Amino acid sequence: MKVLFLKAVLAAIALGALSSCSFFQRASHQPRLLSKVEAERVSDQRSSWDSALWPSGGASSQPDGFLPGEVALAVKAAAATLPVDRHGRPTYFNEDIRHRYVRTTSYSHQENEVGAVGRLNAMGTTLKYGRVRSAAADWSRYPVGTVFRIKGLPHVYVVDDYGSSLVGTNTIDIYHPTLRLMRKWATRDAEIHVVRWGSWEQAANLLRGRTRFEHCARMYYAALAKIHIRRVALREESRGKRPSL
């Protein structure tokens, strides 16, 4: 009898010890508080994810921050149904589409191109290469004063120039101050976001006195057509009708 009693006591002690182990404890449903180190790690991961989104604050996706980021497949797919120019790049007719897939080239005043006067742009002001940088385009597609960003780069670009080879295309020419930088950029596809549209009226006013040059004449009359279409649209909207373009 004493032996049985001793065994029972020992069994009770063993069960008590087991029940106190964390393995047998009921799981708590309260959230675990993160340590300071863990919280900082989560914050850094979240910041890295946010900076990878487009458009973002201009975080660079290139090691040197000079070349544009890769064009997203979704942006190319969205442009696949649009008509293309002679370079095979989409033509956007709707100004509401500000996120675009474009072909970019590069130029420099050091090329000493015929008709170009030093570092002056087509507006007669100095070509810019700082936080704000100059770009050239067909002014009937990207009118003078158009502001845009390029995916992967922190700079802001403004269309303040044009070129005869750009007329009739959707190509945007990016200005660089040296031939070395110009060649480094070369010709590249890029994803842009139009921040603010320029003025077709200002483009037409600047081109009006230059129509003796064929490329200027083409841009001038195309800009006039855009102005006419916009006026018709505004007139129809004021009458409560949908414009028939």
Let me know if residue 164 belongs to a domain.
Answer: yes
Stretch among 48-57, 143-152, 226-235 having the lowest mean pLDDT: 48-57
Is a pLDDT exceeding 80 seen at residue 64? no
Let me know if residue 86 belongs to a domain.
Answer: yes
Report the distance separating Cα 106 and Cα 125, nearest Å.
Answer: 19
Let me know if residue 95 belongs to a domain.
Answer: yes
Domain count, the chain: 1
DSSP codes of every residue in 147-209:
EEEETT---EEEEEE--GGGTTS--EEEE-SSHHHHHHH-SEEEEEEEEE---HHHHHHHHGG
Predicted confidence band of residue 38 (pLDDT cuts 50, 70, 90): low
Pair 174, 92: CB distance under 8 Å = no
Tokens 């029972």 — which residue?
8
Let me know if residue 235 belongs to a domain.
Answer: no
Let me know if residue 133 belongs to a domain.
Answer: yes
Let me know if residue 34 belongs to a domain.
Answer: no
Token output for 87: 């370079």
Sign of torsion over alpha carbons 106, 153, 67, 182: positive
Is a pLDDT exceeding 50 seen at residue 245? no
Let me know if residue 233 belongs to a domain.
Answer: no
Q: φ, ψ for residue 98 (rounded to 5)?
A: -105, -15
Beta partners for residue 209, in sequence order? none
Let me know if residue 138 belongs to a domain.
Answer: yes
Report the distance separating Cα 68 and Cα 81, nearest Å.
Answer: 24
Domain that holds residue 95: 73-198
Stretch among 53-57, 146-150, 197-201, 225-229 having the lowest mean pLDDT: 53-57
Tokens 């110009």 — which residue?
182
Pair 198, 138: CB distance under 8 Å = no
Token output for 201: 């009226």
pTM assigned to the model:
0.72
CATH number of the domain enclosing 190 = 2.40.40.10
The predicted-structure confidence for 128-158, as pLDDT tens digits, reads as follows: 999 999 999 999 999 999 999 999 999 999 9
